Chains A and B, each alone.
Chain A
Amino acid sequence: MGSRASTLLREEEIEEIKKETGFSHSQITRLYSRFTSLDKGENGTLSREDFQRIPELAINPLGDRIINAFFPEGEDQVNFKGFMRTLAHFRPIEDNEKNKNLPASEPLNSRTNKLLFAFRLYDLDRDNKISRDELLQVLEKVDVEQKMSIRFLH
């Protein structure tokens, strides 16, 4: 699939993703090309190693955490749809969406879903609770790496 690159992304797939995530057509195609470029195994899915190859992520203190967030529980491969679903959490909420009120399914970038996503970053063992240790781990990681950033007090 990877070798055939973005051409393989069919219109109906795009439509489906668009519906689910709210990304625009051009965004989807661009992210798809990114997806394929990350996909070194060229099997249509990304593994953890694929993510870890991104140099910037290696230095990001929360990199592992983010990568984990892309993988549903128990799996170590993520396909394009899953990839997009995760990214959709970071799409800004637009005004017209606020008023739309979709009772059927909450959009992925809603406030609740964003919060949920952030929560899961801390919830390492996925027991829907952030234990003290989990919180500590995250914070510690941030701060050890962040020792340098002195805040602008006052």
Chain B
Amino acid sequence: MDVGSRPPASLPPRLLSSIKAERDVSAMSSGMKMLLLGVTLLLLRAAGADLSGSAAPHPGPVLSSPSAPPLGPPPGAPGVALSRSAVEEEQEAEEHHGGGYRVVQWEWSYVQTPYIIAIWLLVASVAKILFHFSQRFTTVVPESCMLILLGLVLGGIVLIASKKQLYQLDPSLFFLFLLPTIVGDAGYFMPARLFFDNLGSILTYAVVGTLWNAFCTGFSLYAAKLLGVIDERVQAELMDFLLFGALISAVDPVAVLAVFEEVHVNEMLFIIVFGESLVNDAVTVVLYKVYISFVEVGPGNVQTADYFKGVASFLIVSIGGTLVGLVFAVILGFITRFTKKVRIIEPLFVFLMVYLAYLTAELFSLSAILSMTFCGIGANKYVEANISQKSRTTVKYTMKTLASIAETIIFIFLGISAVDKSKWAWDTGLVSCTLVFIFVFRAVGVVGQTWVLNRFRLVPLDKIDQVVMSYGGLRGAVAFALVVLLDGEQVKAKDYFVATTIVVVFFTVMFQVGAALLKILVSSHVMKPLLNRVSVCSQAFDHILTAVEDIAGLQGYHHWRDKWEQFDKNYLSKLLLRKSVYRKSELWEAYQKINIRDAISVIDQGGNVLTSARLSLPSMASRASFPEVTNVTNYLRENGSGVCLDLQVIDNVPGSKVEEDMETHHVLAGNLYKPRKRYQSHYSRHFMPLGEKERQDREVFQRNMRSRMETFKSTRHKRHKKERSLKKVNILSDLTCCCSVSDPVVVPVEPEEDKADHSDPEKEEDVGITFVARKAETPKQRPKSVPAALDVCQSPPPHTPSPPAADSHLPWKGSVGAPPPCVSVEATKIIPVDLQQAWNQSISSLESISSPPAPAEPVHPRVSALSRLGGPRPLSYTGPTAGGSPSAGPPLPQASFSFPERKKKQQVEEEEEEEEPGASQEMQPLMSPLRLPGRRNPCVYLRSLVTTPPGGSSEPHSHRPTQL
């Protein structure tokens, strides 16, 4: 039962910490049992190390699980059967047979390992949530401290329950799984520029500082031993102490990351301490190995050559590790260059290659941490450029998640391990001496090195920096894992070392960092967020400095960086970057980014899009104008037969209810965003659907810009407003009403046309809401517009080029007697493609001719109302040829020259606005020039309407207003 004592031979000794606690558990009260069961599960080896089937044959310490009596027999240990060893399975099989067929079976042994891992992660995560419930609490106590405390509590519970620590941090688990996740995250997101800018300092602290710490601590401890401060029981020689010094002296990346990120030290300080903690891995590994071999050989047999071998080993381990990392970085970059078709596995490549870099380095016993770090640093630039935005996000979040959870586990395990008394032996002398020496030497080392470094550094490290650095020299899980790895046979004092390491780790993490002093120091110091990007400005500075270095003939840092950048640009990037990325301008990227951010921020602010002005204006206007419209109708009725067709339309002017609906529709269509699709029409394992979010961002941006344009324009034309007469206001309100009536007519047509005629992705906008209007409007208007259109397509060429302005402005409603001048989709399509352009040109020329003149003579108010009714509106849309408008207007070949046309249109529009300031101003909110192609359709539609009246057949009527 007590498997730990008789492990299967195949198990590596360090896996023996696996535990089965059920025996004792079963003796306890059932309530307690439940609790303990949970705890026990947690403590069972959490991660992959267990997958090998680390378990011993398990006689079946039947925990008659109180929670699940009906769950069938308690075969092979409902509690914790550790694996499905052959014996166990046999047993199980027998029992199953014996019991006959069971409806429900207790398959704990089957799911055990992943189950425990999952539970473990769950508890760790929940613990994190709980810690962060209280803001004030977490600002006072670092999270890592809380996790260690939690670990202590959990460990204590288990200890009470089983009289024996069941689990402690397993070195192989730590080094193969937990550490790489943290280092990988750190390396990949390392601010490379900052790292290399401070490389000199980092290397100094990492190499010189660590060596200094290791030797001083080792020798001092030995001296303390000789002086009798350390108890006699600690059987350790000089070599043992040096070994211990080596492993205890290294600053630990896990702890540094955990604590420094939490307290937000300034970026330079962070990168120096963190970089040190990464790079000193090589030093620690080498020292550790060298000492181990020395201890094995025996100090007496060490020859001078061995010391040199040690130095050589250091170089090989560090440089070799770096090279392995860089090689993998290149491979990774190269692979991601070709993942365009399989975007979905891009993140996987990143994780795999980075992890492989770590494992490969470990394979050759090189510095794995260095390897992984440099793989991350090196590949980041190319990978980030190659992979899609989504993959980038995936990589980022996955790495952060993994690192965070690994860190949590490490700290909890540290706490748990500390409780196991059997693993360590206490010696006050050793512990206190170590603590004192570590802090003293760290402080001395930092001050000394900083003093030297400050003579070379452009930005000197000031006193507070030094204090933080001395304080921040955190020892952590790496040291602990290393000390656990020690061979108790050779290092007699291992247990003492373990105890000391635990204390040191706890002390450094909890007291040092939790110290209010550090908090105060740091908070009063600098809290700049990590600045990872290189702005255009700093690029300019780089170039300036490089140029000056070149002129001065110095082969300095900037010179070499420039050389590297040239090399990178000429060779590496060509090799590792996609062609499309390679050519992409950075400025463009930045511009895009800024735009998107802008758009999002506007939306976050609640959007000035939905202003009260826009909401109220149309509806008020239309309400006021309703009687006006009727007047117009009457007027039209009185005047000639040509109106008939139009009269239908006007008679059909919907009731106020419908009108309100339409207003609502417009407001909504103008301000709401396209509904998100809930369902994907198809599912593919290999491709991600097009980003809903991206589309939304774009939409947000476009709307934002549009509304800005509107406000800009309306302010611009405010002055004109005052010049207008009251009458005009009325007319305008008519106008608005009409707009609101007619606008939706066109809209419904858009979607189909959009898709049919244009490939422009943006055209897909406004599919959703616009359909609302269709019900209300389409039926009335469509039929009428079709015949009109037919007319149009034939009439334009023979246009008389000088119709009075008022006439030319007459829209479908206003064009008295004009045989239905509307253009419909179907109609315009009839125009041959090659003629289209000519037609457009003729229209635009007409436009320019017709627009300037205004009705000179005083007109009958109604007539002017009439003319204005149509006039301004089409004009504001005089997109010559309404380029790019897909729907109602001449929809055919314009897509190609749509953009210039739009510009032109704006120009024309501006001219018009000078002429009809009020009108256009009122128009703005409803139809701004910036509308998306889809939304611009109305203009096209109307535009063709405008141009029609002058057409031959309509001429007699069109002149009428002026004659009046």
A, B in one complex: yes
Say yes or no: B550 contacts A60, CB within 8 Å. Answer: yes
A121 at the interface (CB under 8 A from B): yes
Stretch at the interface among B490-498, B537-545, B657-665, B927-935: B537-545
Say yes or no: A34 contacts B552, CB within 8 Å. Answer: yes
- How far apart are the CA atoms of A150 and B569 in the complex, in Å? 10
- Enumerate 18 A-B pairs (CB-CB under 8 Å) in ascending A order: A54-B550, A56-B546, A65-B544, A87-B548, A90-B545, A92-B458, A118-B541, A142-B536, A142-B543, A143-B585, A147-B584, A148-B568, A148-B586, A150-B385, A150-B581, A151-B532, A152-B191, A153-B384
Chain A: minimal CB distance from B84 (Å):
44
Say yes or no: A37 contacts B553, CB within 8 Å. Answer: yes
Say yes or no: A54 contacts B384, CB within 8 Å. Answer: no
For A126-154 the 0/1 string (1 means CB < 8 A from B) is: 00000000000011001110111111111
* Interface residue total, chain A, C-beta cutoff 8 A: 37
Given contacts A142-B540, A142-B543, contact A66 B551 (CB under 8 A): yes
Contacts of B227 in A (CB 8 A): none
Query: Shortest 3 CB-CB distances between A and B: which pairs?
Result: A34-B553, A66-B547, A56-B550
Given contacts A142-B539, A150-B384, contact A51 B551 (CB under 8 A): yes
CB < 8 Å neighbour of B543 from A62, A87, A144, A152 = A62
Say yes or no: B551 contacts A54, CB within 8 Å. Answer: yes
B533 at the interface (CB under 8 A from A): yes
B714 at the interface (CB under 8 A from A): no
Say yes or no: A148 contacts B573, CB within 8 Å. Answer: yes
A73 at the interface (CB under 8 A from B): no
The residue in B193, B548, B584 that gathers the most chain A C-beta atoms within 10 A of its C-beta is: B548
- How far apart are the CA atoms of A148 and B380 in the complex, in Å? 14
Contacts of B460 in A (CB 8 A): 95
A1 at the interface (CB under 8 A from B): no
For A80-92 the 0/1 string (1 means CB < 8 A from B) is: 0000000100101
| Residues 504-560 of B at the A interface (beta carbon under 8 Å) | 532-534, 536, 539-541, 543-548, 550-553, 559
Say yes or no: A152 contacts B380, CB within 8 Å. Answer: yes
The residue in B384, B551, B585 that gathers the most chain A C-beta atoms within 10 A of its C-beta is: B551
Contacts of B540 in A (CB 8 A): 62, 121, 138-139, 142
Chain B: minimal CB distance from A21 (Å):
12
Nearest to A148 among chain B residues (CB) is B569
| Residues 7-43 of A at the B interface (beta carbon under 8 Å) | 31, 34, 37-38
Say yes or no: A153 contacts B533, CB within 8 Å. Answer: yes
Query: Total contacts A to B, CB within 8 angstroms?
Result: 103
CB < 8 Å neighbour of B381 from A70, A144, A147, A152 = A152
Contacts of B566 in A (CB 8 A): 59
| Residues 386-411 of B at the A interface (beta carbon under 8 Å) | 392, 396
A61 at the interface (CB under 8 A from B): yes
Known: A51-B551, A139-B587, A142-B536. 8 other contacts (CB 8 A): A56-B562, A59-B566, A60-B546, A67-B547, A87-B548, A147-B583, A147-B585, A153-B533
A2 at the interface (CB under 8 A from B): no
B189 at the interface (CB under 8 A from A): yes
A44 at the interface (CB under 8 A from B): no
For B578-592 the 0/1 string (1 means CB < 8 A from A) is: 000111111101000
Contacts of B189 in A (CB 8 A): 154
Contacts of B582 in A (CB 8 A): 148
- How far apart are the CA atoms of A56 and B534 in the complex, in Å? 22
Contacts of A59 in B (CB 8 A): 566
Given contacts A37-B553, A143-B586, contact A60 B536 (CB under 8 A): no
Contacts of A151 in B (CB 8 A): 532-534, 586
Contacts of A143 in B (CB 8 A): 536, 585-587
Chain A: minimal CB distance from B560 (Å):
11
Nearest to A150 among chain B residues (CB) is B385
Chain A: minimal CB distance from B317 (Å):
28
B487 at the interface (CB under 8 A from A): no
Chain A: minimal CB distance from B569 (Å):
4
Given contacts A57-B550, A143-B585, A147-B584, contact A152 B193 (CB under 8 A): yes
- How far apart are the CA atoms of A67 and B192 in the complex, in Å? 30
- How far apart are the CA atoms of A152 and B581 in the complex, in Å? 14
Contacts of B550 in A (CB 8 A): 54, 56-57, 60
Say yes or no: B384 contacts A152, CB within 8 Å. Answer: yes
Say yes or no: B544 contacts A121, CB within 8 Å. Answer: yes
Nearest to B535 among chain A residues (CB) is A151
Contacts of A31 in B (CB 8 A): 552-553
Given contacts A37-B553, A56-B559, A61-B543, contact A150 B586 (CB under 8 A): yes
- How far apart are the CA atoms of A144 and B508 in the complex, in Å? 50
Contacts of A37 in B (CB 8 A): 553
Contacts of B551 in A (CB 8 A): 38, 51, 54, 57, 66, 70, 87
Contacts of B539 in A (CB 8 A): 142, 146, 149
Nearest to A60 among chain B residues (CB) is B547
Chain B: minimal CB distance from A105 (Å):
22
Nearest to B380 among chain A residues (CB) is A152
- How far apart are the CA atoms of A56 and B559 in the complex, in Å? 9
CB < 8 Å neighbour of A139 from B536, B546, B553, B581 = B536
Say yes or no: A154 contacts B586, CB within 8 Å. Answer: no
Say yes or no: B562 contacts A60, CB within 8 Å. Answer: yes
Say yes or no: A150 contacts B381, CB within 8 Å. Answer: yes
B306 at the interface (CB under 8 A from A): no
Nearest to A37 among chain B residues (CB) is B553
- How far apart are the CA atoms of A144 and B458 in the complex, in Å? 30
- How far apart are the CA atoms of A149 and B589 in the complex, in Å? 11
| Residues 725-756 of B at the A interface (beta carbon under 8 Å) | none
Contacts of B2 in A (CB 8 A): none
Contacts of A54 in B (CB 8 A): 550-551
Given contacts A56-B550, A66-B551, A154-B532, contact A149 B543 (CB under 8 A): no
Chain A: minimal CB distance from B198 (Å):
15
Nearest to B572 among chain A residues (CB) is A148
Chain B: minimal CB distance from A66 (Å):
4
Contacts of A144 in B (CB 8 A): 585
Contacts of A152 in B (CB 8 A): 191-193, 380-381, 384, 532-534
B565 at the interface (CB under 8 A from A): yes
Nearest to A84 among chain B residues (CB) is B552
Contacts of A121 in B (CB 8 A): 540, 544
Chain B: minimal CB distance from A148 (Å):
4
Contacts of A90 in B (CB 8 A): 545, 548
Given contacts A56-B550, A62-B543, contact A149 B534 (CB under 8 A): yes
Given contacts A56-B559, A148-B573, A151-B533, contact A87 B552 (CB under 8 A): yes
Chain A: minimal CB distance from B469 (Å):
19
Contacts of B534 in A (CB 8 A): 149, 151-152
- How far apart are the CA atoms of A153 and B460 in the complex, in Å? 27
- How far apart are the CA atoms of A51 and B458 in the complex, in Å? 27
- How far apart are the CA atoms of A70 and B544 in the complex, in Å? 12
- How far apart are the CA atoms of A19 and B628 in the complex, in Å? 86
- How far apart are the CA atoms of A66 and B544 in the complex, in Å? 7
Chain B: minimal CB distance from A80 (Å):
12
Contacts of B581 in A (CB 8 A): 150
Contacts of B392 in A (CB 8 A): 153
- How far apart are the CA atoms of A63 and B547 in the complex, in Å? 6
Nearest to A33 among chain B residues (CB) is B553
Chain A: minimal CB distance from B934 (Å):
32
- How far apart are the CA atoms of A143 and B490 in the complex, in Å? 62
Contacts of B192 in A (CB 8 A): 152
Contacts of A138 in B (CB 8 A): 540
- How far apart are the CA atoms of A105 and B380 in the complex, in Å? 47
- How far apart are the CA atoms of A36 and B585 in the complex, in Å? 40
Contacts of B584 in A (CB 8 A): 147
Contacts of B532 in A (CB 8 A): 151-154
Contacts of A70 in B (CB 8 A): 551
- How far apart are the CA atoms of A146 and B532 in the complex, in Å? 17
- How far apart are the CA atoms of A103 and B548 in the complex, in Å? 28
The residue in B380, B539, B543, B568 that gathers the most chain A C-beta atoms within 10 A of its C-beta is: B543
| Residues 87-102 of A at the B interface (beta carbon under 8 Å) | 87, 90, 92, 95
Contacts of A57 in B (CB 8 A): 547, 550-551
